[in-house]
Amino acid sequence: MLNKTENQNWYTLSEAQSLQALDTSLDEGLNTETVAQRQAQFGKNVITQKKGESPLLIFLKEFNQPLIYILLGASLITALLQEWIDSAVIMGVVLANAFIGFFQEMKALKAIESLSKIMNEETTVIREGKKQRITVSELTVGDVVLLQSGDKVPADLRLIQVRELQIDEAALTGESVPANKHAEALKEDTVLGDRKNLAFSSTLVTYGTGKGIVTATGNQTQIGQINQMIATADVLATPLTKQIAQFSALLLYVILGLAAITFVVGILRGETALNMFMAAVALAVGAIPEGLPAAMTIILAIGVSKMAQRNAIVRKLPAVETLGSTSVICSDKTGTLTQNQMTVQTIFVDKDSIEVSGVGYEPEGAFQHQQQSLSPTSHKALLACLEAGLLCNEAVLQHNEEQQWHIQGDPTEGALLVAAQKAHLKATDLEQLKPRIDTIPFESQHQYMVTLHQTTTADNNTVYLKGSVESILARCSKVMQADGTLREIETEFYHQKANDLAGEGLRVLAFAMHLLPKHQSNITHQDISEGLVFLGLQAMIDPPRPEAMAAVKACHEAGVAVKMITGDHELTAFAIAQKIGILPSSMPKDTEAVLNGKKISQLDDKSLEAYAANTNVFARVSPEDKLRLVKALQVNEHIIAMTGDGVNDAPSLRQANIGISMGITGTDVAKETADMILIDDNFASIAAAVEEGRGVYDNLVKFITWTLPTNFGEGMIILVAVILGAELPILPVQILWINMTTAVLLGLTLAFEPKEPNIMKRPPRDPKAEVLSTPLIIRISLVGMLLCVSAFVFFDIALRNGEDEAVARTIAVNIFVVGEIFYLFNCRSLRYDMFKLGLFTNLWVLGGVGIMIVLQLLYTYAPFMQYAFHSAAIGAWDWLYILAVGLLIFVVVEIEKYLTYNRLQRKGKKLIG
């Protein structure tokens, strides 16, 4: 039986040591008996799914919320009152909320299933000395696997033989270009992204061939460990769900307490238990904000719709509000902050540094030298360097059906094609003039690619080389000058220039040429070992998105920190962070502003918390590093939005308060784990979503501030009536009419309020802050008391004037409704007066008010409504009193609003959060 392999650092062992440790042969592979033994020992190559909760339990847990308890109680109470329609409406709200939550949760649980789908393919192995095709699930530790271009790596492998092998590991490491693989042993402290002698399960072979030995299968692979991290990552409650739960629990106790007081006081006054029970029921029904859960769901759903219009698809409703509370955005670099299109920006030829304009794969741009326009045809060395990049190349630049340019092949080679086309060099024309007759592909041990071209217009064949600066300069003795003549090369000069460009975060390639006799039709390494002509350097970078720069600035103005977490190298990450504005442009390049994966792995959790808070750029990070960083930031009470597109990002996406997956480049696993998906993979869409999230939260607080005075007033009017031994001014069924109609027709119109001015100039809302600040609680109490006192006074006046109870109660009901209408205009902004917003900026409010007035007239004068709700017709003078109360509420609140806002401004405090 093979010893345990989980903790073995295979990348530190030589090829021979790896074969010995795994007790296998590169030529023979495993035999059938050994395969069976190892499958029994290590299990099949599948990712096991953690047994989750049953769908029924998930559904029932949706009812486990204090506010839902209140609604269930309201539904039961109204059923006891035989108000079947009201009971059914409230129960419908409860069930709708439960089903929405249930379906969202079930969708999220598909993430791990997406991981398992990776294992349903075939691979080529050597067993008993023969090549065989087997299903990936049948692989076991020690199997010899053959890889070629287009294969998905079936398990974690220690590579033993490679030929020009390149593997796209972006989904696992975040590296933006394919990794060049080799078989040599590495140092112990090599981070995951630099383990070039390993191939990881689920990554994609883009070029070359290789042979490796399986070191881990199923749950023990890197992707399997990510699966375990997804399963164990905490799913945190959002700030809104926490606060609404606390608020609902408090409301539950207050309502039950007031109902109990009402019952006891009535009994002490000599009332019958039945009458007092009905009074307590009336108070409970009045105090319960039946419309709040439905309003929350609808306001959040409207926010989802608005975000979709700004390229952000929200999968979980509470995530809308969480975005508005976000204090830190942890963003991937490639494709989110950058364009994911490598672009040549600087070409250094002869002694001239030439800037190339234009970004991305569109071949539009110009050349400048010392800020003066330069024609490539006037600079022979520049033209030759571009020509070398075009011909010594395997990529293809294509124009697709959507009229977009894209690269088929390596992004780095694609950048060279685009740079050449900016100089009007076309691949088809040059390939006809100089057809390729031989190639030496790129190999990691040589660090260059060579092509031999038949030259139809000269007596020699031309050799072009591209590769690392070190490998090319070591073979050059001459350098081409601007006029096409040659001079002796100053090797150290060009090494220094290359280092300067690399120090700016640019990826630098060197180019050279050589002439061979016309009759020579093949090329060897010996042919290009010395005496080459150096053509120049091309330096490229994945350029930042212009809109991302503006979005980062907007986030900083809004008090939201932006942190870059990438698998790329430190210098590249530093350069992009400076260009985008994450780091100051004045910061020196030798700074320790970038924390790399090696340092992260050496820090304990406490130390990492301090580094995470004070560092904005993280490079060469592993999946474990990302997860630890998110947890470290959350310890500091931050609300974290985390972006990602790869399988490696899934655990941190799940751990973050809001996980954001890329829609274009994102893997299925990342999308299923995320709370939100960016359609355009653009950081600017995150900033837009934060803005929408703040607007949604504002509107939610406006609704709560608007609806609670009614519930407070209704509860108080019942309590006061019982204490005074008076008739109830409003009956339970009338309370339900007020609550349900006004919540839908008036309150929900606040969901359509446009965002207030300077919403992105405010700091993020404190997650510990209560939903309602002290000034808002005072305002709610003030309006509630005005409604209670006004309704009770005019109810009593009507009775004293000889009106029957139905008329008096109709006046009281209309005072509540009209008071709510006037107060609705107050609540359109909790900070500014209505006229600053504009009367017609939310037509939904005017429409809702119009319909409510019509319904209230029907309630008052239609016989069938009078029968159903015990209402009666009232006179014109009564309406004047009612309107006067509404106007009084509006004026009082506007004065209070003005005084409160100015006082808070002076003290530097916030009205919300």
Residues annotated as catalytic are 332
- Identify the three-state secondary structure at position 9: coil
- Cα–chain center distance at 542: 21
Q: Three-class SS string for 827-886?
A: CCCCCCCHHHHCCCCCHHHHHHHHHHHHHHHHHHHCHHHHHHHCCCCCCHHHHHHHHHHH
Closest CA to 579 of 347, 328, 333, 329: 333
The token pair that represents 525 in the structure block: 């390494």
Q: Which residues pair with 463 in a beta bridge?
A: 452, 514
What are the CA-CA distances from residue 796 to residues 276, 726, 732, 789, 805 (Å)? 20, 9, 18, 10, 10
* 373 burial type by CB count under 10 A (0-12 exposed, 13-18 middle, 19+ buried): exposed
Q: How many CA atoms does the CB half-sphere of 544 hold within 13 Å?
A: 24
Strands 640-644 and 130-135: unpaired
Distance, CA of 689 to CA of 322 (rounded, Å):
10
* Residue located via tokens 């003078």: 877
Phi/psi of residue 29, nearest 5 degrees: 70, -160
Q: Euclidean distance between the first and final Cα of the chain, in Å? A: 62
The token pair that represents 604 in the structure block: 């304990």
Angle among Cα 711, 715, 721 to the nearest 5 degrees reads: 145
Q: Which residues, at least 6 apart from 588, have a Cβ–Cβ distance to it below 8 Å?
A: none
- Identify the three-state secondary structure at position 360: coil
CB 792 within 8 A of CB 729: yes
Distance, CA of 101 to CA of 471 (rounded, Å):
59
Q: Three-class SS string for 704-723?
A: HHHHHHHHHHHHHHHHHHHH
In the chain, helix, strand, coil percent, each to 5?
50, 20, 30
The token pair that represents 322 in the structure block: 């969480």
Burial 34-52 (b: 16+ CB within 10 A, else e): bbeebbeebbbbbbeeeee
Which amino acid, residue 143?
D
Distance, CA of 736 to CA of 869 (rounded, Å):
10
Distance, CA of 395 to CA of 401 (rounded, Å):
19
Q: Count of residues for the chain?
A: 913
Closest CA to 627 of 174, 59, 38, 234: 234
- Cα–chain center distance at 188: 34
Distance, CA of 441 to CA of 443 (rounded, Å):
6
CB 427 within 8 A of CB 433: no
CB 544 within 8 A of CB 580: yes
DSSP 189-242: T--GGG-TTEE-TT-EEEEEEEEEEEEE-GGGSHHHHHHHHHHHS--PPPHHHH
What are the CA-CA distances from residue 472 to residues 4, 351, 490 (Å)? 45, 17, 13
